[in-house]
A and B are shown apart, each in its own frame.
Chain A
Amino acid sequence: MGFTAVEKVLGRASGRPGVRAGDVVYPNPDRVVIHDVVVRENKEKLDQIGITRLTAAKKVMMVTDHDVVYGNQRAADRGAFNRKAAAQWGVGKFYDAGQGGHGHIFPIEQGLLLPGMFYFDNDFHAANSGAVGAFGLRAGAEISRVLATGTTWVEVPKTVLLEISGQLKPGVQARDVGFYLGRCIKSGVIPMDLDYRVLEYAGELDQFGLGARVALCSTPVELRAAGIFIPPGEEVLAYCRRHAKMDFTPVFSDADADYEARYQMDVSAIEPQVALPGAVSNSVDVSEVVGTPVDHALIGSCGSGMYEDLLCAASLIKGRHVAPGVRLFIVPGSERSTQRMAEDGLAKIFLDAGAMILPAGCGPCNDAVVGPVAAGEVSISTATNNNVGRFGSREAKLFLGSPMTVAASAVLGKIADSRELSFDTALQKQMETAYV
């Protein structure tokens, strides 16, 4: 019986080739990533013990994405604390406020996370690295142990395989595939248990560019997958080779790998999906909710924060205006995307339309540090999830859709099927070469 990609990666990282799902290993990570909001609690925990030096500090990347603009004094104090912590620990890479961007987006764009790599992160959205065939695992509170000692225990996850067949219809995007998958799991049509599993995609994957591959990671992570694995194709590998900041060796599952289960999904008939408030798996065809008035819209987050997402939103918004009474936030995933928006004219398209461009990072999709919703309001967004109270009042209704659905809804002031609007073909064409 062959090995899954995650078994191979963890086997390599722990110096124990041949590990199987269920084994407990202590892998030596290629990187360690910690996000701004949890630095203090971990630093204080280690300081209390007297641990002031990190094992392999040079591997550590500290990113600032959850609260970039410091909406209050507490956040500014946290920023100051983090700056001092980065210096005291001597971390390899410190991305301060306004640098880098979203920690689950920009490292992928910059060739800091690469095929076959293994890394620890405090946050489970590290699974985004599956878009390039890397594995980022959440260590949670134990990131302190990883920082101090260089590792912690990992139970090698089981892998479930999802074979994609068919091509998406025009106007249907990777986020729709995720929402549809969530819907199929919830209804039992696909009896998949993702809890601490790696979801490996297979089949007709060439239709998904790098940005779409990141989007494919979003819903499974919210359904508690430990990781996602999308075998990198030639285009992704070429991008990674061009931007790589270190050597890497892609890893793939063996043909006879020991998958826990195999499933199929035909994506050719999927309609644009909208996740109803409360869970990513509450999704329905957009036609069921078309016309629902909205107050708040957001394009960004770890689920849709790639440059492709901004291009496709701009292709619909160009020449239009955000509807009266709607506030639309654009949150690029990286500082590089913000720069590109300025260079390529996207920033002007969004500003002309009356949208608000926020600094790169998580935006409202983290405890509503910026741009929250009020009680009674309706939001449609590409946030990573729409759990009650995710960004503001628990009495608000949070719908999710693809970047195209959200863009169309923002300009029409109500949930809309983007296929009813014309779009700028040149901008959509650029999506194909967003990451080369």
Chain B
Amino acid sequence: MSEFIWSLRGRCYKLGDNIPHPGGVIPASLVTARETDPKVLIPRLFEETDPGFSTRCKPGDLIVTGRNFGMGSKAPGYIAMQALGLGLLCESMSVQAYREAISTGLRVLSPCDGISLLCENGDDIEANFQTGVFINHTRGIEHSFPPVREGLQDLLAKGGTIAWLEHWWRTTGSMAKLEN
């Protein structure tokens, strides 16, 4: 199995505070429908605020948000971000939103206190999700944020909950004597 890539480098795509998942990240209809197919979700990412976003972003680009990103436990937008190879750096997000995000295998750091002051749209930025080191190459800034916590690094490195479960079943679960 190839080594998990912990660092992403790309352009900064900046968002403000309190962006709701339905509407702010992806149309509400897809949230209500509990859509999980990346092919359906990708073209709709940020559709209501920035149509065509998915055609302009590139793998490695990093979405930098203000406080309380996602505002709750919804997942479809994170599935699209993960499938596009993007990363997510949030001033803060609810634990339930974070749970949904990392469960999809999305590289995400939260909280990143003050990150909005360290970068602007289009900057060449880099983040290491295992160490929390953030670099803004455009502005020559380096800063450390809390990394993905140890207890969750394995989940992320395996590619999120489904991939983690597949691995678990292959290596452990199918052999285990179940306590019933």
Task: Please measure, in the bound complex, the distance between the C-alpha atom of A45 and the C-alpha atom of B94, giving whole angstroms.
Answer: 25
Contact of A140 among B73, B149, B169, B174 (CB under 8 A): B73
Known A-B contacts A49-B166, A148-B168, A153-B152; A140 and B100 likewise in contact (beta carbons under 8 Å): yes
Residues of the A chain whose Cβ atoms lie less than 8 Å from the Cβ of B103: 141-142
Q: Quick check: is B118 within 8 A (CB to CB) of the other chain?
A: no
Contact of A153 among B151, B169, B173, B179 (CB under 8 A): B151
Q: Please classify how large the interface on chain B is, using the bins under 10, 10 to 19, 20 to 34, 35 or more.
A: 20 to 34
Please determine whether B161 and A145 come into contact, CB atoms closer than 8 angstroms.
yes
CB-nearest residue of chain B relative to A53?
B178
Task: Please measure, in the bound complex, the distance between the C-alpha atom of A41 and the C-alpha atom of B165, giving whole angstroms.
Answer: 15
Interface members, chain B 54-70 (any A CB < 8 Å): 68
Q: Quick check: is B157 within 8 A (CB to CB) of the other chain?
A: no
Interface members, chain B 141-160 (any A CB < 8 Å): 149-152, 155
Q: Which of A54, A124, A142 neighbours the largest number of chain B CB atoms within 10 Å of its CB?
A: A142
Interface members, chain A 4-61 (any B CB < 8 Å): 24-26, 41, 45-46, 49-51, 53-58
CB-nearest residue of chain B relative to A58?
B180
Task: Please measure, in the bound complex, the distance between the C-alpha atom of A144 and the C-alpha atom of B103, giving whole angstroms.
Answer: 12
Interface members, chain A 319-375 (any B CB < 8 Å): none
Task: Please measure, in the bound complex, the distance between the C-alpha atom of A212 and the C-alpha atom of B24, giving whole angstroms.
Answer: 37
Please determine whether A54 and B161 come into contact, CB atoms closer than 8 angstroms.
no
Q: Quick check: is A133 within 8 A (CB to CB) of the other chain?
A: no
Residues of the A chain whose Cβ atoms lie less than 8 Å from the Cβ of B176: 55
Known A-B contacts A51-B173, A196-B94; A26 and B151 likewise in contact (beta carbons under 8 Å): yes
Q: Quick check: is A171 within 8 A (CB to CB) of the other chain?
A: no
Q: Please classify how large the interface on chain A is, using the bins under 10, 10 to 19, 20 to 34, 35 or more.
A: 20 to 34
Q: Quick check: is A138 within 8 A (CB to CB) of the other chain?
A: yes
Task: Please measure, in the bound complex, the distance between the C-alpha atom of A226 and the C-alpha atom of B73, giving whole angstroms.
Answer: 12
Q: Quick check: is B162 within 8 A (CB to CB) of the other chain?
A: yes
Please determine whether A25 and B96 come into contact, CB atoms closer than 8 angstroms.
no
Task: Please measure, in the bound complex, the distance between the C-alpha atom of A57 and the C-alpha atom of B179, giving whole angstroms.
Answer: 8
Task: Please measure, in the bound complex, the distance between the C-alpha atom of A49 and the C-alpha atom of B168, giving whole angstroms.
Answer: 10
Task: Please measure, in the bound complex, the distance between the C-alpha atom of A58 and the C-alpha atom of B99, giving whole angstroms.
Answer: 26
Shortest distance between the CB of B160 and any CB in chain A (Å): 10
Q: Quick check: is B13 within 8 A (CB to CB) of the other chain?
A: no
Contact code string B54-91 (vs A, CB < 8 Å = 1, else 0): 00000000000000100011010000000000000000
Task: Please measure, in the bound complex, the distance between the C-alpha atom of A400 and the C-alpha atom of B126, giving whole angstroms.
Answer: 48
Shortest distance between the CB of A213 and any CB in chain B (Å): 24
Please determine whether A157 and B100 come into contact, CB atoms closer than 8 angstroms.
no
Q: Quick check: is A90 within 8 A (CB to CB) of the other chain?
A: yes
Shortest distance between the CB of B178 and any CB in chain A (Å): 5
Q: Quick check: is A241 within 8 A (CB to CB) of the other chain?
A: no
CB-nearest residue of chain B relative to A48?
B162
Please determine whether B75 and A49 come into contact, CB atoms closer than 8 angstroms.
no
Q: Quick check: is B95 within 8 A (CB to CB) of the other chain?
A: yes
Shortest distance between the CB of B4 and any CB in chain A (Å): 18
Residues of the B chain whose Cβ atoms lie less than 8 Å from the Cβ of A206: none
Please determine whether A196 and B169 come into contact, CB atoms closer than 8 angstroms.
no
Residues of the B chain whose Cβ atoms lie less than 8 Å from the Cβ of A224: 72, 94, 96
Q: Quick check: is A149 within 8 A (CB to CB) of the other chain?
A: yes
Contact code string A226-245 (vs B, CB < 8 Å = 1, else 0): 10000000000000000000
Shortest distance between the CB of A195 and any CB in chain B (Å): 5
Residues of the B chain whose Cβ atoms lie less than 8 Å from the Cβ of A155: 95
CB-nearest residue of chain B relative to A55?
B178
Task: Please measure, in the bound complex, the distance between the C-alpha atom of A138 and the C-alpha atom of B72, giving whole angstroms.
Answer: 12
Shortest distance between the CB of B167 and any CB in chain A (Å): 10
Contact code string A122-162 (vs B, CB < 8 Å = 1, else 0): 00100000000000001011101100111001010100000
Residues of the A chain whose Cβ atoms lie less than 8 Å from the Cβ of B96: 124, 138, 140, 196, 224, 226
Please determine whether B162 and A153 come into contact, CB atoms closer than 8 angstroms.
no
Task: Please measure, in the bound complex, the distance between the C-alpha atom of A24 and the C-alpha atom of B150, giving whole angstroms.
Answer: 8
Task: Please measure, in the bound complex, the distance between the C-alpha atom of A45 and the C-alpha atom of B162, giving whole angstroms.
Answer: 8
Residues of the A chain whose Cβ atoms lie less than 8 Å from the Cβ of B75: 141
Contact of A141 among B100, B168, B178 (CB under 8 A): B100
Residues of the A chain whose Cβ atoms lie less than 8 Å from the Cβ of B68: 195
Shortest distance between the CB of B2 and any CB in chain A (Å): 21
Please determine whether B178 and A148 come into contact, CB atoms closer than 8 angstroms.
no
Task: Please measure, in the bound complex, the distance between the C-alpha atom of A90 and the C-alpha atom of B178, giving whole angstroms.
Answer: 12
Shortest distance between the CB of A27 and any CB in chain B (Å): 12
Please determine whether B169 and A49 come into contact, CB atoms closer than 8 angstroms.
yes
Interface members, chain B 76-134 (any A CB < 8 Å): 94-96, 99-100, 103
Please determine whether A226 and B95 come into contact, CB atoms closer than 8 angstroms.
yes
Please determine whether B169 and A50 come into contact, CB atoms closer than 8 angstroms.
yes
Interface members, chain A 40-92 (any B CB < 8 Å): 41, 45-46, 49-51, 53-58, 90
Residues of the B chain whose Cβ atoms lie less than 8 Å from the Cβ of A157: 95
Residues of the B chain whose Cβ atoms lie less than 8 Å from the Cβ of A148: 165, 168-169, 173
Please determine whether B161 and A144 come into contact, CB atoms closer than 8 angstroms.
yes
Please determine whether A24 and B151 come into contact, CB atoms closer than 8 angstroms.
yes
Residues of the A chain whose Cβ atoms lie less than 8 Å from the Cβ of B173: 51, 55, 148-149
What are 19 A-B pairs at a CB distance below 8 A? Answer: A24-B152, A41-B34, A49-B165, A49-B166, A50-B169, A51-B169, A51-B173, A55-B179, A56-B180, A58-B180, A90-B180, A141-B161, A142-B161, A150-B179, A153-B152, A153-B155, A155-B95, A195-B95, A196-B94
Closest 7 A/B residue pairs (Cβ): A24-B151, A196-B95, A49-B166, A24-B149, A195-B94, A58-B180, A51-B169
15 additional contacts (CB under 8 A) given A49-B166, A56-B180: A24-B149, A49-B169, A51-B169, A55-B176, A56-B179, A58-B180, A124-B96, A138-B73, A138-B96, A140-B100, A141-B75, A145-B161, A148-B165, A153-B151, A195-B95
Residues of B within 8 A of A (CB): 34, 68, 72-73, 75, 94-96, 99-100, 103, 149-152, 155, 161-162, 164-166, 168-169, 173-174, 176, 178-180
